[in-house]
A and B are shown apart, each in its own frame.
Chain A
Amino acid sequence: MLNVINITKEFKNGLFGRTHTLAVNNVSFSIKAGQTLGLVGMSGSGKSTLGRLALKLIPCGNGRIIFNGIEISNFTMKQMKRLRKEMQILFQNPESSLNPRMTIGKSLEEPYRFHDIGDKEYLDEQIEEQLKFVGLGTELLNRRPHQLSGGQLQRVCIARLLLLRPKLLVLDEPTSMLDVSVQAQVIDVLKNAQKKHGISYLFISHDLDLIKACSDEIAVMYKGRIIEQQPAEDLYKQPEEKYTKQLLDTFLNF
């Protein structure tokens, strides 16, 4: 589904861009269709940057990105627009991912309008179906984001993504702002969506418990590099790298 080969990203900041930060350093990974790759690491290890690079939300320096057999590393933004439907991202904070001035209904319609798919009737039908799928009702459509709870908003965001029938979703810490029980609900919805539509996930999180429960394979990131990648079960049983061991130890024996 997605193949990322030797990708590198360097940020320049400070006066005249004299400070260089190597956020992602020569990273390769691949995600199979309908599977979940978990990405763990500390804050600042480059997880989120890598997620955004994979979707070409930020331009990459070197390296190749192959999505569904098409090399997209050199695509322009216009060429990307067609593919955007199929590759989407779910952000950490649902409160800041929706426009506070738009009703939930308008927010849900927006990507549809942008990609110009189907007529209004079909759209309404689809919205109702997806809202039902994520466990919400149509009475929310006329409300605004501040009237909903964090868990409801995150589910609205998921419904909005599913409307476009994506093939790949980057989940950037989708539940770190939510409480345990709501987290379990959101994960449940995401797992069902994967089963139903065969979506591939790149699951970014620093919650090692959560990532274990959700991923087929797990990659560990440290200072911009993927230092280890293993099937989920194996990683917890026999981590190879010293850093992974330390990470698991800190979290699980907490």
Chain B
Amino acid sequence: MDNNIYLENVTISFTTKAGIVQAVNHVDMTFNSGEITGMIGETGSGKSVLGMSVLRLLAANSMITGSIIYKNIDLLQLTEKELNQIRGKIISFIPQNPDTAFDPTMTIGKQIIEGYLYHDKKSKTAGISHGIEQLQNYSFHEPKKNFNSYPFQLSGGMRQRALCAMGTALSPEWIIADEPTKGLDAIIRQEVSQVFYDLKKTTNSSIILITHDLRLVQRICDTVIVLYAGTVLEQGPAGNIFDEPLHPYTCGLINAQPHKKLLPLSGMPPNLIYLPAGCKFHPRCSLRKNICCLTEPALQNVNGRWVRCWKYA
């Protein structure tokens, strides 16, 4: 039995006043264990929603269909109580935006060891020394002092690292990290990425990295998944995708980077309530053909990579 996470025909929608928002549409994919998988795409492409759905952390107005299989268990069928045995311990989630992810009225340390005390049923003193050790791993210079600090007393970079420490405190098998480097400067960004890299090596954790930071993906990811309007447009080994992107959308994202051409993609991402017919990317695509507006292409295998585009059909 492997430790992969299998997503089968996962569809996620939210019921809102304006209509039904289709955030993720019929996603079939496998997150391979022992790898760092990067999920990239623009804001609203469903990256975070997909990441959160694995642990069913979505808001109450969400509807998930399909199945998410881990070790022959369908995570979507578990009760809340059963799921709590998995959350943090086996699969952990590192939320984005450390400013709002922490409880402002609790010390950092207390929040880091909360899960540890819950799952491992250890004494509080053991918890505290474990927590301080965690902070040390994330290159905090004064772990004891920071352990007892409140979130507002730490800088943005420190808070982000503390959040990572919280997510990895129980050495989970899977870590889902949502934009762990957003708003960090170069040196801290490198530190945080090093932490993920080391985690994979030393604890053999598998990581799902949800990010906009293409340089980060290029550096540490093994596999890349490109999402657009809740569908997978391209999937393959990181090196190949960046050297030779197949889908026009992936090309666009790569060319939008400042050290490439800084060329914006034309148009806006589609409204998720009224999705376009055919290929979801066709209104913004420069290589659009008639068929693109009518029928959605299937994921094609092109030289061992997967791409959803009529160009390769």
Contact = CB atoms under 8 A, between A and B. Distances in A.
The reply to whether chain A is a binding partner of chain B is yes
A212 B259 contact: yes
A213 B262 contact: yes
Contacts of B155: 43-44
Given A44-B155, A181-B256, A181-B264, A208 B44 contact: no
A250 B258 contact: no
Given A43-B155, A184-B263, A179 B43 contact: yes
Interface string A66-98: 000000000000000000000000001000000
A251 B187 CA distance: 8
Interface in B101-158: 155-157
Contacts of B264: 181-182, 184-185, 188
B183 A176 contact: yes
Interface string A88-112: 0000100000000000000000000
A212 B258 contact: yes
B199 to A, nearest CB: 18
Interface in A182-237: 182-185, 187-188, 206-210, 212-213
B156 A43 contact: yes
A1 interface: no
- Interface residue tally of chain B, by bracket? 20 to 34
Nearest to A180: B256
A254 B216 CA distance: 8
Given A181-B253, A181-B265, A212-B258, A254 B219 contact: yes
Given A184-B264, A188-B264, A177 B259 contact: no
Contact of A43 (B188, B216, B263): B188
Interface of B: 42-44, 155-157, 182-190, 193, 212, 214-216, 219, 252-253, 256-259, 262-265
Query: Which 5 A-B pairs rank lowest in CB-CB distance, beginning with the nearest?
Result: A184-B264, A209-B258, A206-B185, A209-B259, A185-B264
13 contacts: A43-B185, A149-B43, A150-B43, A180-B257, A181-B264, A184-B263, A185-B264, A207-B258, A209-B257, A209-B258, A251-B186, A254-B193, A254-B216
